Amino acid sequence: MQIIEKAFEPVQIELPDALRNPPRMPYIAFKAMARANLAKLRAGMGGHSKDIVRRPVSTLQREIEGHAGPVSVRVYAPEEGAAAPRPLLVFFHGGGWFGGSMEAVEAFCRAVADRADAVVVSVGYHLCPEHPYPHGLGDCYRATLWAAGDPGLGIDKANVAVGGDSAGGNLAAAVSLMARDRGGPPIAKQLLLYPGVTLHDFVSPTGERGGVFGRLLADWYLARSGKTTDPYVSPLLAPSLAGLPAALVAVCELDGLKEQGIAYAQRLSGAGVQTACLLYRGTQHAFIDNTGTQPAAEDLAEESARFLRGQ
């Protein structure tokens, strides 16, 4: 498998204080502090995007049944263009399973819908720690079932993709595994943007590998209801990746998850899955949150569109 490198000028991205420089204190105290400041942490996430569509793209807000309650989804589709059934991308936003939003990735989803002439469904899955695993994953799987089976969306059922960035990339990889194991829905492609594909590195008692914030994410997401070795939690640890959808994996040069993403792409390729891997030089984690203000994000929207179109 070849890694295709794409170089861009580095852009400094502001992170919440707790992510950039976690305070030094016993883990139990840090966890309590983070929980008390959860709303502030969530509010500090996201970037600075602007709409870059070249033609009108409609937005339809819907509510569907999720894992254990209603889930909001947004459906983006070009108002002009091909009359034939369109590719479908079901997209899961990033945010460490506890944050992020459909708003943060809206400009990216709209750009992909425009450039791929596709229907893009963005999923507002439930977040931890209030709704730990498998709640969010169950929401994403059910949203994929709904989107792939809804005749009103006008999709090409032979060209269904799931995708996501960061934690959303984890969810997309897990939904792909789940669909393979359960015999549906039929997923042809997976779009994994700087994905976190194993939480197992985050659970060291001293936090050397994932850091104290990585350990917190694992604790919040799993909440004793799952194990970091579960393939639906850590797809990189799945015994077999054979039979999975074709994959486009994009990783950032300046990102602690880079090696995970490359390792997953290599494992997919080794299992006979058609896989391409893009390495974005000069980029940091979560750069699609800056679609329209960071050139690398627009380039990734173009690459994603080509992948959906099969080019």
161-220 pLDDT per residue, tens? 999 999 999 999 999 999 999 999 999 999 999 999 999 877 655 444 557 888 899 999
Query: How much is the pLDDT for 211?
Result: 77
Mean pLDDT, range 151-156, rounded to an integer: 94
Contacts of 43 (CB under 8 A, 6+ apart): none
Tokens of 298: 């627009």
Query: How much is the pLDDT for 27?
Result: 84
Residue 196 domain boundaries: 3-309
* Contact between 119 and 305 (Cβ < 8 Å): no
Q: How far apart are CA 194 and CA 304, in angstroms?
A: 13
What is residue 263's three-state secondary structure?
helix
pTM: predicted TM-score of the whole model, two decimal places: 0.95
How many domains are there within the chain?
A: 1
Query: How much is the pLDDT for 214?
Result: 87
Mean pLDDT, range 129-138, rounded to an integer: 97
255 is catalytic: yes
CATH of the domain at 124: 3.40.50.1820
**Phi-psi sector, 136: left (phi>0), alpha (psi -120 to 50), beta:** alpha
For residues 113-147, one letter each, b for 16 or more C-beta atoms within 10 angstroms of the residue's C-beta and e for the rest, the string is: bbbbbbbbbbbbbbbbbebbbbbbbbbbbbbbbbb
Candidates 67, 126, 200, 285; catalytic one: 285
Candidates 139, 255, 289, 304; catalytic one: 255
Q: How far apart are CA 303 and CA 108, in angstroms?
A: 12
Query: How much is the pLDDT for 25?
Result: 79
181 is catalytic: no
Query: How much is the pLDDT for 206?
Result: 45
Q: How far apart are CA 223 and CA 130, in angstroms?
A: 10
Candidates 49, 122, 166, 304; catalytic one: 166
166 is catalytic: yes
Q: Tell me the pLDDT tens digit for each residue of 18-45.
A: 555 566 778 889 899 999 999 999 998 9
